[in-house]
Amino acid sequence: DITLIAAFFQVAVVLGGIAVGKYVDETKQFKPVSILSLVITTGLLGLLGLAFGYDAVFSSPVVIGALMALGFFVGPLQPINAELAVEVAYPCDENAVEATQQLSGNLFSALLVPACQSASSFDIELIKRSAENTPLETLVPEDLRGDTLILILLSLSALVYYVSFNAPLKREMFDNQIIEKIRMVMVTGEDGEQEGGLSLGQSKLNDDFRAIFDSIDRDESGDIDLSEFLRFLDRLGPCAVKTTKSQPSVLHMIADLWDSLDADGDGTLSYDELESWYMDLQRV
């Protein structure tokens, strides 16, 4: 049933987006994952396209399996590259970047539909038949429909682009600057003096995160408010951000960082929220 197969294809797209997207979110391996997905997508498109043009008889499990695999690997391309766009465009507004990408993708898809419909009316012969009545089982794959060829060319074009893609992940670089400065500053006071006799080697910051949290929570309320967080950022030095600057890009970076830390959106940072963010960065 075509409707049922289409439904399973959409499920494969969703599952691929979840599984592959989670992996990329944890590892930041945008380029390798995109290249692998495009290689598999191109291969499956070629396989299914040639089989259709050749009138090959495949068993239903093979055809359905190929379609499910196609959905699984093509599905994650849009969401993981929306995240990639946010990473490389940082500190541009995340919503603006994703909206632009979504709008452009939808517009291009809409333009592609009539183009594929027109292209589907012709085939490109790769190998000519030796005789009109040659039995199908003695032939090799011979043609591709125009719409299939367009999809393959698009996939190959994207693959060529990603092979040469080498833009820096600016948001990750900013987070790494913060985390490196945390290691250096958390056991010192604003004047650079050691607090509590701790040194970087003695404190074992990765194992004793409480010292980090307490050094930011100046009023000992048990939560970090925005003013304490800004005061902390001012202690990070010139290689991080300086909150005394008024440039919109710097202010946006600070607001974006605060939002990523404040997971429950209550306007303050709990110990668990700050530790979770810190440990996530350490893992990456």
Dihedrals phi, psi of 38, to nearest 5 degrees = -70, -35
Dihedrals phi, psi of 37, to nearest 5 degrees = -65, -40
Q: What's the pLDDT at 157? A: 92
- Using CA atoms, how far apart are residues 162 and 189, in angstroms rounded to an integer? 46
- Using CA atoms, how far apart are residues 210 and 217, in angstroms rounded to an integer? 10
Dihedrals phi, psi of 246, to nearest 5 degrees = -110, 10
Residues 231, 239 contacting (CB under 8 angstroms): no
Average pLDDT taken over every residue of the chain: 75
38-53 mean pLDDT: 83
- The DSSP secondary-structure symbol of 141 reads P
Q: What's the pLDDT at 40? A: 94
CATH assignment of 172-191+201-282, among 1.10.238.10, 1.10.357.10, 3.40.50.720, 3.40.50.970: 1.10.238.10
Of residues 279 and 154, the one with the higher pLDDT is: 154
**DSSP labels, 76-88:** THHHHHHHHHHHH
Residues 87, 173 contacting (CB under 8 angstroms): no
Residues 149, 155 contacting (CB under 8 angstroms): no
Is the pLDDT assigned to residue 44 strictly greater than 70? yes
The band of 261, judged by pLDDT with boundaries at 50, 70 and 90, is: confident
Of residues 188 and 33, the one with the higher pLDDT is: 33
The band of 160, judged by pLDDT with boundaries at 50, 70 and 90, is: very high
Is the pLDDT assigned to residue 135 strictly greater than 60? no
Residues 48, 64 contacting (CB under 8 angstroms): no
Residues 187, 211 contacting (CB under 8 angstroms): yes
Is the pLDDT assigned to residue 149 strictly greater than 80? yes
Domain 2-128+139-167 class in CATH: mainly alpha
Beta-bridge mates of residue 101: none
From-to residues of CATH 1.20.1250.20 in the chain: 2-128+139-167
Cα of first residue to Cα of last residue in the chain, in angstroms, is 44
Residues 129, 142 contacting (CB under 8 angstroms): yes
50-59 mean pLDDT: 66
User: What are the pLDDT digits (tens) for 17-29?
Assistant: 999 988 988 888 8
Q: Which helix (H) or strand (E) holds 225?
A: none
List the one residue out of 100, 63, 79, 60 whose CA is nearest residue 19.
79
Q: What's the pLDDT at 244? A: 42
pTM above 0.85, yes or no: no
Kindly state the tokens that stand for 152: 């393959």
Kindly state the tokens that stand for 10: 């959409």
Q: What's the pLDDT at 54? A: 58
Kindly state the tokens that stand for 162: 């990603």
List the one residue out of 16, 48, 50, 49 whose CA is nearest residue 34.
16
User: What are the pLDDT digits (tens) for 92-128?
Assistant: 877 888 888 889 888 988 988 888 888 877 776 665 5
From-to residues of CATH 1.10.238.10 in the chain: 172-191+201-282
Q: How far is CA 283 from CA 43, 71, 160, 263, in A?
A: 34, 30, 31, 18
- Using CA atoms, how far apart are residues 218 and 58, in angstroms rounded to an integer? 69
User: What are the pLDDT digits (tens) for 183-242?
Assistant: 555 444 444 444 443 344 434 544 456 767 777 787 878 888 888 887 777 665 544 444
Neighbours of 224 (CB within 10 A): 23
Dihedrals phi, psi of 145, to nearest 5 degrees = -70, 150
* Residue that is written with structure tokens 């950022």 in the block: 233
| Least trusted range by pLDDT, from 55-69, 178-192, 243-257 | 178-192
